[in-house]
Amino acid sequence: MISASPRYLNDVDYYGGFEQEDLDQLFEAMGSNYNAWCSGFAPLAVGGDMESVAVQEFSRTLFNMRPDIALSVAQTIFQSDMRQSSALSPCRAASSKVLKTWLFPSSSLNTCTKTWAANPSSKS
């Protein structure tokens, strides 16, 4: 990713990469079982499996965050609209597509849901 998007939420005349429904699913996954979300998100964001040192380190960093703060930061980032205060660049749509793939791959949501359902004691 080259830089952050000034707005991640799609608008009538703006493609940010996410629909509100996508973001609601992200926030729900983070809020209902943060540990399962971290376990599914870390390998996708880093691009490796759980055995790689980079994924383990990133996963450790996520797990060290308080879930309520992580959720609040995610909501602030993804619901913000900074289009008026930043210069627009044609790269924003491409980076949003990559980010959306990391956050919402079809298999990761299923994996997180299955992990949560199979191990309710890990709910945070």
The pLDDT, as a whole number, for residue 25 is 93
Query: Which of 38-42, 74-78, 82-86 has the weakest average pLDDT?
Result: 82-86
pLDDT single digits (tens) 77-121: 999 998 887 555 555 444 555 555 556 555 444 444 444 444 444
- Mean pLDDT for all residues in the chain: 77
Cβ-contact 36, 30 below 8 angstroms:
no
Would you give the distance in Å from CA 74 to the centre of its chain?
7
Cβ-contact 41, 103 below 8 angstroms:
yes
pTM for the predicted model, two decimal places: 0.63
User: For residue 115, what are the contacts with CB-CB under 8 A and spacing of at least 6?
Assistant: 33, 36, 39, 40, 122
Residue 37: its H or E element: helix 34-46
The pLDDT, as a whole number, for residue 84 is 83
Would you give the distance in Å from CA 71 to the centre of its chain?
10
